[in-house]
Amino acid sequence: MALVHYGNPKKYVYLMQVNGISDPDRLPSGRTLRIPTVGRYRVKKGDTLGKIAARFLRSSKRADFLTWLNRIKDPARLEPGTVITIPFLIRHRAQQGQTMVDVARRYYFTSRSTGLLRRFNGRKTNALREGEIIWVPIFDPDAFHEKVLKRRKAFEKRQKKLKEQARHIAKRAVVDRNGSGSSNAANDRDSKVKNGAEPGNKRSRAASVIERAFKLYREGEYQLALAILKEHVERQDVKPAEEARAREIMAYCLVALDRPR
């Protein structure tokens, strides 16, 4: 049943706890079971997160949890019609020797959500007394962590693309600087620079890359400019003046990226 309703057979503990079942392998025939699910609530005029939390999560102090779960940027300006996710609650009575870590492992199957569970219950420590009631919000943490992983993969893909663009632009800058349209000629010059045959070209290449990065900065391509400078200037033995100029442009880019848009 847990596999059908939650997509994970380990989550049978939800059904056990909500329905008061002690042995999951022995279910009485004909018994009606309650299947708790994550809910959705459409905000109405006059609603606040405090009121919604008090209604569904048993305390208005848990409004911060709804803010975090639904990634609400401004809790004070909750627009009517907004649909927010409402977790269902499981009532857990602490057994002898149990801690918050044990409860997190039981319902979240990992200890990394212990802090979340502790904050939800207004606790400062993980210690529990026997018989103490703990409310566990179930909000499909597996799906939440999948979203985090997807965003991380998208970011890494973007960074890889920026590095490839940086290499391509730097190669073009070398060709443009030397007035040649042949990539083979540029590669030959690069190999000579590496071997120490033409140190002058190495400096001119760094200067051309810096000029290209500054042009990208003025065009608003801050991340690409940063990638170019890091890839092709910081790792080379450039003149102190060129390095200072590169770091100056990098500072401009970082300031522009931090600026609110």
pLDDT digits (tens, 9 = 90+) for 144-202: 445 555 666 777 777 777 777 766 766 665 555 555 444 444 454 444 444 444 444 44
Query: What confidence score (pLDDT) does residue 66 get?
Result: 93
Backbone angles phi, psi at 42, to 5 degrees: -95, 120
Name the H helices within the chain: 2-6, 12-19, 49-56, 63-69, 100-108, 114-120, 141-178, 183-194, 199-218, 222-232, 240-258
pLDDT above 70 covers a percentage of the chain that reads 75
The pLDDT of residue 64 is 93
Contact residues for 88 (Cβ-Cβ < 8 A; gap 6+): 36, 37, 38, 39, 137, 138
Which pLDDT value is given to residue 233?
60
**Least confident among 34-43, 67-76, 201-210:** 201-210
Q: Examine the pLDDT at 137 and tell me if it is beyond 90.
A: yes
DSSP 8-state symbol, 261: -
Band of the pLDDT at 92, cuts 50, 70, 90?
Answer: very high
**How many other C-beta atoms lie within 10 A of the C-beta of residue 218?**
11
Q: What is the pLDDT of residue 57?
A: 94
User: Taking a C-beta distance cutoff of 8 angstroms, is the pair 218, 211 a contact?
Assistant: no
- State the chain's mean pLDDT as an integer: 78
Task: Please give the model's pTM, rounded to 2 decimal places.
Answer: 0.52
CA 212 to each of CA 20, 225, 243: distance values in angstroms, whole numbers, following the listed order: 68, 8, 14
Please give the Cα distance from 44 to 74 (Å, whole number).
16
What is the rounded CA–CA span in Å between residue 199 and residue 189? Answer: 10
Whether domain 38-140 has CATH 1.10.3720.10: no
* pLDDT tens sequence across 194-226: 444 444 444 467 778 888 888 887 888 878 888
Residue 28 has pLDDT above 50, yes or no: yes
**What phi and psi values does residue 12 have, to the nearest 5 degrees?**
-60, -20
pLDDT (0 to 100) of residue 230: 76
Closest CA to 135 of 69, 88, 87, 91: 91
Cα separation, 154 vs 220, whole angstroms: 21
pLDDT given at position 238? 64
Phi-psi map region of 119: left, alpha, beta (phi>0 left; psi -120 to 50 alpha): alpha
Report phi then psi at 91, rounded to 5.
-90, 115
DSSP letters spanning 27-83: PPTT--------EEEE--TT--HHHHHHHHSS-GGGHHHHHHHTT-S-TT---TT-E
Q: Where in the chain is the domain with CATH 3.10.350.10?
A: 38-140
Confidence of residue 235 (pLDDT cuts 50, 70, 90): low
Amino acid residing at 195 = N
Neighbouring CB atoms inside 10 A of 92's CB total: 21
